[in-house]
Structure formats: C-alpha cells, structure tokens
Structure 1
C-alpha cells in the first residue's frame, strides 16, 4: 500500500527545474496509487491561476499543465492562503478544483500517520 504524500512547491518559473520536479513527483505518486496533496506556496501559487501552468515551459519536461491535471484528477492541490493573499489571488480566480488554505491545514496533513512530506 502506498503512503500518503504531501508535496510543497515553494518556487515558480524563477526556479524552473525545482518546481517542475515538485509537480513531476506529485503526478508520479498519483499514478502509483498514492494519496497526494500538492501545496503551491510562494511563486508556485501563480500556477493555480488559469493559463499560468500552460505558459510554463522547460525543455524535455512534461508540460506543467499536464502534471497539474494529473494531480487534480487523483489528488488535491492547495494554494497557501498567505501566498495567495500577497499576490491578490482569490478563490474565485484559481483553476477549478484547487483550494486555498492555511498553515493549520498543511500542518494537519503532514502530521497525519503514514504521511511523507517533501518540500521543493
């Protein structure tokens, strides 16, 4: 049985390989049958806005929009509430299925039994 996985992406297009790795690991874990929660913090919060993931490009990498779709199809995606607020990202302006939540929810997820947390 696969463990639950929480992946926290802390960067955006400013660190393309690192953010791509976070999305890739989250999508691969979903494909393997793990319960996955992907958190978008800092500049990664922008990828919750429609069209932003599609505009991201990294040579030889699976398109970020496809990875985001895979995680949304089998897991959950959350934007940090403070990160969203600092960028004027509202719950009405994010991709369908993405929620905005704060540190208390993140802490609850990572402290649950059997959870592996990764930060990129």
Structure 2
C-alpha cells in the first residue's frame, strides 16, 4: 500500500510559522517518497497565484517558492473551490499545475487507504 499525506494549509502571511511548517512537512514527506497532496485554503489560497510565494518571508525557514515548486513538480497542489471564489481567483489565474477542487475531493483523499491528513 502506497503511503500518502494530505496537508491542508489554512495560514498564510497572517501566521507565517504555521504556514511554513505546513509547506516544510509536505516537502519533506515528498522528498521521502510519500505521495503528497497540499491543499491551499484560507489565507494560503493566495500562494496559488504567480509571484505570491516570493512575497513570503520567514527567517530561518526554507524559501516558500522553492517548497511550492517542489510540491508542484512531484506532488499535487489544490486550491479550495470556496476559498478561490471568495477571493475571486479562477483557474486562469493560478500557477500551472494548481487545480481547484472542493471538500468532496479533500475528503476522498484524506480517507483513502494509507492516507494521513494534517491541518495547519
């Protein structure tokens, strides 16, 4: 059975340490061979847009653009449907590789065999 990790990030610039922890844990899991799905919700939704991760700064933390690039290349990155709508973000606005999906897809991934879910 393939192990998988679903990470839901609710924090962005409003809680930088929590946000960075989520991206770091997801990236380390991916580098360890775990299938990773990162969900951008709440204030982290803005990181689905080009250039927004580059605006994020946290001393002594890995650069968010690097972590996001790794997750886009080897994992799955999803922007919450409702969060996108509240911010007027459409599929045309997001980075290549970011999908927009809702709670039903999150629940399917989180409850899949071998899956673990974390919320930050």
TM-score by length of 2: 0.97
Q: Give the length in aligned residue pairs.
A: 120
* Mapping 1:10-21, distance limit 5 Å: 10-21=10-21
Most deviating of 2-11 and 12-21: 2-11
Q: Secondary structure at the match of 2:14?
A: helix
- Once the two structures are TM-superposed, the CA of residue 2 in structure 1 deviates from its matched residue by 6.1
Q: Is the 8 A contact 1:47 1:53 kept in 2?
A: yes
Q: CA RMSD in A?
A: 1.0
Q: Find the aligned partners of 1:35 and 1:88 in 2 and give their Cα distance.
A: 30
Q: Find the aligned partners of 1:29 and 1:72 in 2 and give their Cα distance.
A: 14
* Mapping 1:1-120, distance limit 5 Å: 3-120=3-120
Q: Find the aligned partners of 1:56 and 1:12 in 2 and give their Cα distance.
A: 8
Q: Secondary structure at the match of 1:93?
A: coil
Q: Find the aligned partners of 1:26 and 1:119 in 2 and give their Cα distance.
A: 11
Gapped runs of 5+ residues in structure 1? none
Gapped runs of 5+ residues in structure 2? none
